[in-house]
Chains A and B, each alone.
Chain A
């Protein structure tokens, strides 16, 4: 087991390095044109462009550029030339909001995803299952930004059931904080519930056909015990690890659309607003941090998977 963990950690460092290189390439090398101009945004002055060129080292060889870029971003030096604010601080400010949104949505979609998935599996083939399938597919087909806008408009603005977007910090008022998060979390969750309920359903159905489930019944176990201790226990292992990955993806910027629509002012929205202004440093930083977070979380999830499923510990993938 220790060898497994060590192996995964080494892999993680390698991937982190590769990710940083790719991010660097995406922003500074691949596109045509002058990177300094690009960073400077929509309407820069000549002095600004020169200053940027010096800070980020665009005159120097690629390897040095890479090191400078990493220094700027990871060292917390980078500023947005559009807003003049320090990028790292902006990200840190938005992080708790993004975390709250992600966690709330993640819990919602997990609970409903499993419940609906198991329900669909137990009633496989019947009308209720087909309806559930249809709604799941509908959930996956809804663009989250449209759904959010519509819900926020009708439920928030028109009928006043929920606040019309915005975020209230927990410290100010826990109740208001939760109240403001209901609609955004629900919107984000709808998309995932559709996917997870289908995944759970198909995993559960597959597992129910396995030989060891038949053995469990042959042992005389109650149907409930068979379902909980054997079917769910085995079929949910991959689901739980996937959940970890998706949670990471949402925090790392996957909530960009939901945050924008509901005006949460989290990390994702920060990136979205910067995109609109073609303001490169924040997008670069968010991308880099986001990918780092995901790679680290991937490693944690891999290790968790090995803990849950002993077969994984033997040999590699």
Chain B
């Protein structure tokens, strides 16, 4: 609250200084080029109706042009984060998680079945070429339906019950996708941090495509470049998300200018970017973003020494005290944003474990409930998270409109007595000399929890869980390994239980897909084989054996084909209700915090926010294109 008067005063100064008063003022970086005639003036670079970014946050101000924003990435390949942060999408989420048109001028959606997209007339790619329906047609005809480029068919999201949409070009600036049945996944997929790209810079990619240059030339070109096939070469040039081809035109606010490999990547402003601020000045404010590559483990240290202007990736909560300590000396703030994942840490009983005795237990809801009741979440929160997290099951967070208090509290109260009573009722009453319960076949109950061995946070929490489970007569051992081994053990049913973070999307609305709550993918740690069964279209391995899990699949299928928002919300709540009662995953705490280092001179970074991959695109939904650098603050 202290910040408010200061920022108001600041806004006032801006008005007095007359900054941003002139409409259409050129960014200084481009001025010379415009005056020399190399670049058309701003009015001609913008679409006829640009997107006006209007942020009403009290500490948000109209910015000034210029400057270089420094950040750190752990690998060359991480430059895709600039596409995540840039967050230029056909449709995107605003900071209230509403889906709004961004690149598109408007979307007409009939029953989630017929989607008509209207582009912004006069919108251009970063190289100045027009962005039109031809770019959609290129994707549809020459990429998605080309057997060399897409040997495995259309992207899965474009298929409803194995059938793709009808695609029509209505005009230069309008295209339509029509499915026979509703496809509610479509728009959220376009708004994702790693979006489904249904358009391509056709004018650029044509030079690699045999349809336009002939097969011989395409093949020869690819061979010369050292690629195995023309499709591989085309694919390599066409990585809109990887962002590793500086020649590929883009619609993002900043363009990558550095080819791989490098230790320093420079992204410069896109002169044809389609967004403006309230005063009609073209965004982004910041001229260039510089991403230096440093080892992930050193990034916290470097952030603490003031090597960055903004940094969140690769900072962890346990760096907080160190970062805070150096904040004043190196002139930065440490913000704490709420993480958007369902649980910071959760246990996953493997319902597909190969040991038949254990499999029976894991599939018994009483057993899972007892394990959940036997965790002292309050103690864990205080000891590991300074009491800043929330004790919770693995469900959606309070910010989500689908949140219900009883989902969060279901089977999470620490109650050893009730837990013991549940275990007794399963018939696990016999104990050995050490007080451990015995399985029906006489073995002592020892649960081995696999961890991916990446953080001490997991082992710290497991240590505390072990103490309280001991009171249930159950021993816990943790087995650290490495990611690939970890995954293999889970998939093959060798692992009994695993520890991982909870739901990837903790803030869903009913418009987002509930796929991670139903067995739909092998990587779901609680039922890998059932997930794989779905993934393979009902072939191989085993189908879900529990009635409630089958119901989850049915509900998910129903959601996928649902045409009405009310029904989709109903389905979501049903799914979450089943999860709360069935405790397929044992959430421990949620809403842990993500530290963000932001230099004092960087403006318009919200003090509080949501650090979420999808929806949110991390910084993306808070408009980094409106961040700006205050030259009056010292570097």
Chain B binds chain A: no
